[in-house]
Every structure is written in structure tokens, then in C-alpha cells.
Amino acid sequence: MSSRRESGTSHHDHNYQYKIDESTRLGSGKYARVFKGKHVKTGNVVAIKRFFPITFDKVVFDREREINELLLYHPNIIMYLYSYWDPGTGHPCYVFELAEGGSVRTYLLTHEHYSEDDAMEIIKGTLTGLEYLHYKGIIHRDIKPANILLKRKSSRHHDTFKWDAALADFGIASELGSGETVEFLYAGTPKYFPPEAIVTGQVGKGGDLWATGIMMHIIFTGYVPWSQTKDEIAMMDEIKQMEFDFRKPQYRHISPNALHLMSNLLPKVEVRPSAHSALDQQVYQWYLTASKEKILNNREFCKWHTPDKTIKKKKNEGG
């Protein structure tokens, strides 16, 4: 693909090139809703993120757009296409490629069981996206199941899992510039905060690896490794003091190489691997010895997450 945007488009133009299908809401958050949409001329189906005017921040909007434009096409990054103001509502919008598989969060809520093989495909895709992102000098800062989307595989190398896991939502992503870290400012999702950021007030590439490790813990065990408290201060205190013991019974169902990768993503930042190192050494080793039949149980995740109406409908339909 030679361009990240439809030909002939320009930013911030009041136009009718894209049309939102209001009946196909894909997701909703604090700042925006995401719908399916279509390019009027070509008929290409896309995802359109429409921001709420009441919480809209143009500086943040432009910064996210600029970061998206730095990222050339990559199978493990959701491709940004365009930004515009909706001619009907006047709301600011982003246009992205459509991830037909939804988010990893939705996948977890609609699959109580899945293979370790499929779970590792999600982790591998996340790490591959981070390897590229970090190479470009950008940190994501909000890696979690809701921000990893599943799109149709770009190759046939892995036949049992038909999706590529791809990074999405660069709303709080940061360029590192000449330094190794940026100011933390408690931006992101507390249960994925890395301990070094809470302690020092600075966050870097290692924070994305830590969050990937927490996401891996959720995918492989069904829960986060600390208490489900709504007290964020107490949670952050727990994160700062957390020491993992992967010899405990709750980890016995995980293959040794998968557990080795998880443990290597979750130590102190000084010894945490880069995305490249994690892929090159540990993910590769897992594939050499993988048990394709090993099944993971995800019932705990389904217990402590309440599916929204879209997810419930998809589950009832067998999606």
C-alpha cells in the first residue's frame, strides 16, 4: 500500500467523502465513539472515531494525528487514513482501517477458552507493533486489551488464528525525542501503570513492555496480578511493591517458555527486555516448543468484566 490515506484527501476539510453508519457502533469511551463507516466514492469500509465536542481538545487531537502520520503501514499498527469534521454534526473525526475482529478485550469476553497458541499470537503481534513503534521513537503508554485490535491476517503463516493483533488508540502516545523517558503525569490506565513510572514520575519504552506483561498475565490466567480495588492509590502502592512468584499453582497450566516470557516482561525496568529482544529470543523459543493443544481458561476475566451491549450481542450470535 503506497499511501496511508485515500488519494485526493486533505486534513480538516469539511467534506462528504466518508459517511458514518450510526447503527454500527463498534465502541465507546470517555472522549469518543467508534462506528463503521464507508468512503462514499470507493465503498471501502472503515472505522470512524467521532469525538464528543464537550471533551474535545484540539491540541490532543492534532498531536494524536501527527503521531499517526509518523507511522507508515505496518501489519501490527491500525492504519490511520484521514481526519475531518463531520458535516452533519460538526464533530471532529478520525478515519482508520477497520479491524474486523474487534478488540482483544472483546475477544476475551466472548471466548471462555482458547489455545495458548492463539494467546501467543496476540502477544507476538503486540510486541511486533511495539518493536516498530519504539524504532520510530514513540511510546504508546496505554497498552491494554481494549487498545489491541484484531484485523485480518496479512499472511497465511499461522492458520489456526486468523487475526493480526494491532496497536490502536495513540491518544496519549509520546515521542521520546532525544531522551529515554517522558513525564508520566499518571496518563493511561492505572492497573497497567509500570512501577518505575509511579516511583520516578518518568516513563519510557519499558512501560509498554510492562503493560504487555500485565496483558499477557490477564490473557493467560484470566485476572490481573493485584486486587480488584477501585482505590487507585492503594492499587499503585500494590504495584510498586509487587514481586511475582511464578512458581505458584495458578501458573502451572502455562508452558515453560510462555511463562518465561511473561516473567521477563515483569521485572524491574533495568532488566526488562526491549520489544525486539523479547521477540527475537523468547517468542521464537516458544514457537520451537509450543503445544498447540494447550487450552487456557478465561472464566475469571469474564467474571470481573461486565460486557457492554455490543459484546453481549456478539457473544449471543456466536461471534
The binding site for ATP consists of: 49
Burial profile 244-280: b = 16 or more Cβ within 10 angstroms, e = fewer = eeeeeeebeebbebbbbbbebbbbebeebbbbeebbe
**Axis crossing angle, helix 205-221 with helix 116-135, rounded to the nearest 10:** 170
**Residues 68, 77: Cα–Cα separation, whole Å:** 10
C-alpha angle 79-80-81 in degrees, rounded to nearest 5: 115
Q: How far is CA 119 from CA 163, 219, 230, 275, in A?
A: 11, 7, 28, 17
Cell numbers 482458547 label which residue?
114
**Residues 72, 133: Cα–Cα separation, whole Å:** 10
Please state whether beta strands 80-85 and 92-97 pair in parallel, antiparallel, or not at all (unpaired).
antiparallel
Binding residue numbers: 49
